[in-house]
Amino acid sequence: MIESRLSGLLHAVLLPIFFALSGLRTQVGLVSGGEEWLILVAVVVLACAGKMGGTILAGRLSGMSFRDSAPVGVLMNTRGLMELIVLNVGLDLGILTPTLFTIFVLMALVTTAMAAPLFRWIALTDGQLQLR
């Protein structure tokens, strides 16, 4: 009973506050030089390769076809709340610099934003999947 009452409060108030706090801690201006942008691109590429590639490989090893495992890999590539929690803890503990924190937050945004268009592209090029 208490869980259902707190769940509404958590989703309606505390979760948006957490996302806003993470956004306020992100200093995009720190990613200003060519080296930082190169690191950001490398992090995005490695993150996509690791998450999508690992999921597709696991699907293929378990007997799924590429057409079935690729959409799952794309959807697994989204980053979200858990990653932001870990990044904020890392920043608070001094494990991450503000620049590295910003790079990882931007990577989370890019990989999450690219998931739906990439999924739709795979679905449209594959006659088996139907999107409405």
Are 83 and 108 in contact by the 8 Å Cβ rule? The answer is yes
Residue type, 55: T
Residue type, 22: S
Give me the domain span that covers residue 83. Answer: 35-125
**Residue 131's pLDDT is what?**
47
Q: What's this model's pTM, rounded to 2 decimal places?
A: 0.80
pLDDT digits (tens, 9 = 90+) for 67-110: 888 998 998 888 777 888 999 999 999 999 999 999 999 999 99
pLDDT digits (tens, 9 = 90+) for 43-76: 999 999 999 999 999 999 999 988 888 998 998 8
Are 71 and 119 in contact by the 8 Å Cβ rule? The answer is yes
Distance CA 60, CA 74 (A): 14
User: Which residues 6+ apart lie within 8 Å of 20 measured at CB?
Assistant: none
58 assigned to some structural domain: yes
13 assigned to some structural domain: no
**Residue 132's pLDDT is what?**
43
pLDDT digits (tens, 9 = 90+) for 5-27: 777 777 777 778 888 888 889 99
User: What's the pLDDT band for 126 if we cut at 50, 70, 90?
Assistant: low
Domain count, the chain: 1
71 assigned to some structural domain: yes
Are 90 and 101 in contact by the 8 Å Cβ rule? The answer is yes
45 assigned to some structural domain: yes
